[in-house]
Amino acid sequence: MATVQSGQPITPPHPRARRLLERKPLTVRRASQVIALATIAVTLGGGVLIHFGDQSNFPDIGDGLWWSLQTVTTVGYGDLVPTNTIGRLIASVVMLTGIGFLTVITATITSTFVESARRRTETTNTLSAQLDQIGTRLEAIEAGLKTTGGHQRDVPQ
């Protein structure tokens, strides 16, 4: 554990969250799940908070959740819009979360395709190298048969 100059240990800001994330190795699938859960939490939280932060435009939680869903998905119909500072701050967090979520999903799909192509190329290269080795061995066998005066009937043409 790290310590400051005074000798007191530094506690991580969120030790439980850190232990949860470090329990298993981070994979593309796990990272996507964490981002998806965070996006759901921000969407639900934003929908509830916008109701309390801007009650004139979001008279009930249902309107807040509808607005949050359309905002996080970057649809944004414009039928409900926050007009005060608190509402706009909440909207900023929801918008940035939606953009981040779409970016991570796109990157995950792309990385899956790239990894699949890399594996196919690796397999092809391995097979090609093995065929080259077999060809070299066959050439050596044929050359050995020719130099030892092997009979033509023993060597298929």
The larger pLDDT score, comparing residue 74 to residue 2, is at: 74
R_g (Cα) of the chain, nearest Å: 31
Where is average pLDDT lowest: 74-78, 120-124, 138-142, 150-154? 150-154
Give pLDDT, residue 153.
53
- Phi and psi torsions of 141, nearest 5°: -65, -45
Give pLDDT, residue 70.
93
Give pLDDT, residue 1.
47
The model's pLDDT over 7-21, given as tens digits with 9 standing for 90+, comes to 666 666 677 767 766
Give pLDDT, residue 90.
93
The model's pLDDT over 46-95, given as tens digits with 9 standing for 90+, comes to 999 999 999 999 999 999 999 999 999 888 888 889 989 999 999 999 99
Nearest in space to 74 (alpha carbons), one of 96, 106, 56:
96
Q: Is 9 exposed, middle or buried (0-12, 13-18, 19+ CB in 10 A)?
A: exposed
Residues 56, 69: Cα–Cα separation, whole Å? 19
The model's pLDDT over 83-129, given as tens digits with 9 standing for 90+, comes to 899 999 999 999 999 998 888 888 888 888 888 888 888 888 888 88
Give pLDDT, residue 78.
82
Q: Is the pTM of this model over 0.85?
A: no
CATH class of 26-119: mainly alpha
The pair of structure tokens assigned to 108 is 């995950």
Give pLDDT, residue 8.
64
